[in-house]
C-alpha cells in the first residue's frame, strides 16, 4: 500500500515538469528577403503577414514542413499562422521532454518475515492530494474561427491599364450625318444615307495609388484614347453619280484624381474628377464625276469631367496583382478652337481659323440639317440658322484590365 502512495507522489511531481518541457518555444530566424506567414500550412493559403529578413519568430509546434508561429503586427494585433521551414532557420530547439521516472516495484515479502516499513518519500511533508485536471479545450477548426485581419499591404501601387471606351461624341457625329442628308436632299437622291457613328475607341493609361487608411486609397492617373470612323454614301442618279465620304475623329488625355474604397479585400468602389485635354477632327469629301471638294479640320479644347465605378482585384503575390474594372464618365466639352482647310479639284484652297460651330443648313425653307464646321465668325449667311458652339460629349463607359505593382 505504501508503495502505491509513493508511485502516486512521483507522478504528481513529474507531471508539471513534463508539461513545462513541452511548452518550451521554438525560436526561428527569417533567412530570406521576406517570409510569408500564411493562414494554413499550405502554399496556396492566404498570406496574413510578411516577416522581413533577420526577424525572429516564436513557434509552438511543427506540422510537416511548416512551423506554427505567433507574431504581433505593427498595429498591435496578434496573428497566428504558418511559415515554411525553407524560409527560416532554427535558433533555439525545444528541450526534449523527460519521461517520468518509473516507480521501482516493491520487493516481495518472504514468508514468515516481518513486514518492513517502506522508505518515506524524499519530501519534508506530504504532498497535497492530486487535483483533478479539467479537460483541455481543443483548438477550434480553422473554418469555425474567424480569420485574423490581413496585414497591411505596401502603401504605394502603380497600375498599368488597357481597355475599350464607348463615348457619346455628340455633335461631331451629328455633323457627319447632317451633311450626308444635306447632299441627299440637294441631289434629290433616294440613297441610304445612314452614316456609321464614332463611339468606340481603345484606351491606355497608368495610375499611382497611395493607401491613406486601411481599405482607402487615393490615386492620380492619366489615360489616352483615340478613335475615328470612316463611312460613305453613294448617290446613284440618272446621268451621273456622286459619293460622299466622312471621317470624324476624337483624341483626349484625361488626368484623373480619384479615391477608392475596398468593400472587401477583393472588391472596390471608386470615384473622382477628371480634366480633359481633348482634340476633335473631321473630314468631309464630296465627289461628282470629275469634280471633288473636301473640308478637313482640327480643333482643341479642355474641360472638367467626373467618373465613378468599381472593380475586382486578384492578388498574385504580395507585390503583384491583376485587376478589372468598369467606370462611367461624364464630360461635355465646348469652345473647340482650331483650323479648317478647304480645297477642290479646280485648284481652290483656303484656310480658316476659328471656333467649331454646329448650325442648321437649309436646302429649302422646310428642310434643314445639322452641319459642323470651324468658322472664323458665328455663321450668319443665307441658308444658315441656329448657330451654336459645338459640344463634344465624352461621356460613356470604360472597361479596362491591368496589372498592379506594389512598392
Does residue 251 lie in a domain region? yes
H or E stretch including 187? helix 171-187
Report whether 249 contacts 264 (CB < 8 A): no
Q: Where are the alpha helices (DSSP H) in 30-99?
A: none
Residue count (the chain): 407
Give the helix/strand (H/E) hosting 279: strand 267-288
Given this model, what pLDDT does residue 111 score? 42
Residues 181 and 323 in one domain: yes
| pLDDT, tens digit (0-9, with 9 covering 90-100), for 230-263 | 999 998 876 778 999 999 999 999 999 999 999 9
140 belongs to a structural domain? no
Q: Are residues 93 and 165 in the same domain?
A: no
Asked whether residue 273 is assigned to any structural domain, the reply reads: yes
The pLDDT of residue 292 is 95
166: left (phi over 0), alpha (psi -120 to 50) or beta: beta
**Element (DSSP H or E) covering residue 3:** helix 2-22
Q: Give the closest residue to 235 by CA, choosing from 292, 286, 196.
A: 286
Pair (319, 211) in one structural domain: yes
Whether residue 94 sits in one domain with residue 194: no
The strand pairing partners of 88, in sequence order, are 30
Measured distance CA(250)–CA(199) in Å, rounded: 9
Q: Rounded to an integer, what distance in angstroms lies between the CA atom of residue 119 and that of residue 5?
A: 11
CATH number (domain holding residue 49): 2.30.30.40
Give the residue from 82, 104, 126 where a domain finishes: 104
Specify whether the CB–CB gap between 221 and 258 falls below 8 A: yes
Shared domain check, 397 and 318: yes
For residue 317, what pLDDT is reported? Answer: 87
pLDDT at position 241 is 85
Any domain includes 19: no
Q: Which residues contact 72 (CB under 8 A, 6 or more apart)?
A: 78, 79
Contacts 24+ apart (CB under 8 A), 12-21: 12/127, 12/130, 13/127, 14/98, 14/100, 14/101, 15/100, 17/98, 18/97, 18/98, 18/99, 18/100, 21/94, 21/95, 21/96, 21/97, 21/98
- pLDDT of 306 reads 98
Grid cell digits, residue 62: 511543427
Q: Which of 78, 104, 130 is the last residue of a domain?
A: 104
Q: State residue 127's pLDDT score.
A: 55
The grid coordinates of residue 192 equal: 441610304
Q: How far is CA 384 from the centre of its chain?
A: 50
Q: What pLDDT was estimated at residue 25?
A: 76
> Do residues 71 and 161 share a domain?
no
Residue 362 lies in a domain: yes
The C-alpha atoms of residue 62 and residue 84 are separated, in whole angstroms, by 10
Q: Are residues 206 and 317 in the same domain?
A: yes
**Could you list the residue range(s) of the whole structural domain that residue 84 is in?**
25-104
Q: Are residues 67 and 166 in the same domain?
A: no
Rounded (5°) CA angle 169-172-178:
130
What is residue 154's predicted lDDT score, i.e. its pLDDT? 64
pLDDT tens per residue across span 108-127: 444 444 445 445 555 455 55
What does the CA dihedral 41, 43, 48, 54 come to, rounded to 10 degrees? Answer: 90
What's the structural domain count of the chain? 2
Distance CA 256, CA 249 (A): 22
Measured CA to CA, the distance from residue 6 to residue 308 in angstroms comes to 79
| Domain co-membership, 309 together with 210 | yes
Domain boundary among 104, 120, 138: 104
Per the structure block, which three cell numbers stand in for 284?
468631309
Q: In 10 A of CB 87, how many CB atoms?
A: 20
Q: Is residue 7 part of a domain?
A: no
Backbone angles phi, psi at 377, to 5 degrees: -130, 165
Tell me if residue 86 falls in helix, strand or coil.
helix
Q: Is residue 260 part of a domain?
A: yes
Q: Which regions of 214-266 does DSSP assign to beta strands (E)? A: 216-228, 231-236, 241-246, 249-264
Across-strand partners of 222?
Answer: 206, 255
Q: What is the DSSP letter of 87?
A: G
Q: Residue 146 domain-assigned?
A: no
The reported pLDDT for the residue numbered 251 is 97
pLDDT of residue 34: 85
Q: Are residues 76 and 193 in the same domain?
A: no
Phi and psi, residue 227, nearest 5° = -160, 155
Strand partners, 311: 268, 325
Nearest alpha-carbon partner for 167 in 243, 278, 32: 278
Q: What is the pLDDT of residue 8?
A: 52
Q: How many angstroms separate the CA atoms of 23 and 61, rounded?
A: 9
Q: Which residues of the chain have pLDDT under 70?
A: 1-24, 93-154, 238
Collect all residues with Cβ–Cβ distance below 8 Å to 349 and sequence separation of at least 6. Answer: 341, 342, 343
pLDDT recorded at residue 407? 84
Instruction: Look up the pTM and report it.
Output: 0.63
From the list 369, 367, 390, 407, the residue with the least C-alpha distance to 181 is: 369
Q: Does 275 lie in the same domain as 160?
A: yes
Same domain, 322 and 236: yes
β pairing state of 349-362 and 337-344:
antiparallel
Q: Assign residue 298 the CATH number of its domain.
A: 2.40.160.20
Amino acid at each position: 500500500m505504501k508503495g502505491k502512495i509513493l508511485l502516486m507522489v512521483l507522478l504528481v511531481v513529474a507531471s508539471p515538469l513534463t508539461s513545462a518541457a513541452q511548452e518550451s518555444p521554438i525560436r526561428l530566424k527569417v533567412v530570406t528577403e521576406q517570409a510569408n506567414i500564411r493562414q494554413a500550412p499550405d502554399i496556396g493559403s492566404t498570406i496574413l503577414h510578411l516577416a522581413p529578413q533577420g526577424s525572429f519568430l516564436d513557434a509552438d509546434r511543427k506540422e510537416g514542413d511548416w512551423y506554427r508561429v505567433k507574431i504581433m503586427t505593427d498595429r498591435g494585433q496578434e496573428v497566428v499562422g504558418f511559415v515554411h521551414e525553407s524560409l527560416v532557420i532554427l535558433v533555439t530547439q525545444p528541450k526534449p521532454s523527460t519521461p517520468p521516472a518509473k516507480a521501482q516495484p516493491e520487493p516481495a515479502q518472504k514468508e514468515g518475515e516481518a513486514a518492513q516499513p517502506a522508505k518515506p518519500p524524499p519530501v519534508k511533508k506530504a504532498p497535497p492530494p492530486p487535483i483533478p485536471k479539467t479537460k483541455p479545450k481543443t483548438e477550434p477548426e480553422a473554418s469555425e474561427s474567424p480569420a485574423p485581419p490581413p496585414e497591411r499591404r505596401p502603401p504605394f501601387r502603380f497600375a498599368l491599364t488597357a481597355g475599350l471606351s464607348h463615348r457619346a461624341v455628340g455633335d461631331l457625329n451629328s455633323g457627319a450625318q447632317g451633311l450626308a442628308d444635306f447632299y441627299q436632299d440637294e441631289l434629290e437622291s433616294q440613297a441610304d444615307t445612314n452614316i456609321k457613328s464614332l463611339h468606340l475607341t481603345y484606351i491606355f493609361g497608368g495610375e499611382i495609388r497611395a493607401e491613406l487608411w486601411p481599405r482607402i486609397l487615393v490615386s492620380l492617373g492619366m489615360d489616352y484614347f483615340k478613335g475615328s470612323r470612316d463611312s460613305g454614301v453613294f448617290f446613284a442618279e440618272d446621268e451621273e453619280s456622286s459619293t460622299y465620304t466622312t471621317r470624324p475623329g476624337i483624341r483626349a488625355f484625361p488626368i484623373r484624381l480619384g479615391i477608392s474604397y475596398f468593400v472587401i479585400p477583393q472588391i472596390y468602389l471608386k470615384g473622382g474628377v477628371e480634366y480633359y485635354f481633348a482634340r476633335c477632327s473631321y473630314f468631309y469629301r464630296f465627289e461628282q464625276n470629275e469634280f471633288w471638294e473636301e473640308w478637313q479640320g482640327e480643333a482643341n479644347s479642355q474641360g472638367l469631367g467626373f467618373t465613378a465605378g468599381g472593380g475586382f482585384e486578384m492578388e498574385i503575390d504580395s507585390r503583384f496583382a491583376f485587376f478589372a474594372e468598369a467606370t462611367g464618365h461624364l464630360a461635355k466639352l465646348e469652345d473647340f478652337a482650331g483650323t479648317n482647310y478647304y480645297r477642290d479639284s479646280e485648284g481652290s484652297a483656303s484656310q480658316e481659323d476659328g471656333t467649331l460651330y454646329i448650325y442648321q443648313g437649309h436646302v429649302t425653307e422646310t428642310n434643314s440639317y445639322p452641319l459642323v464646321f470651324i468658322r472664323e465668325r458665328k455663321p450668319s449667311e443665307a441658308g444658315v440658322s441656329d448657330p451654336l458652339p459645338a459640344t463634344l460629349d465624352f461621356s460613356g463607359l470604360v472597361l479596362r484590365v491591368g496589372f498592379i505593382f506594389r512598392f
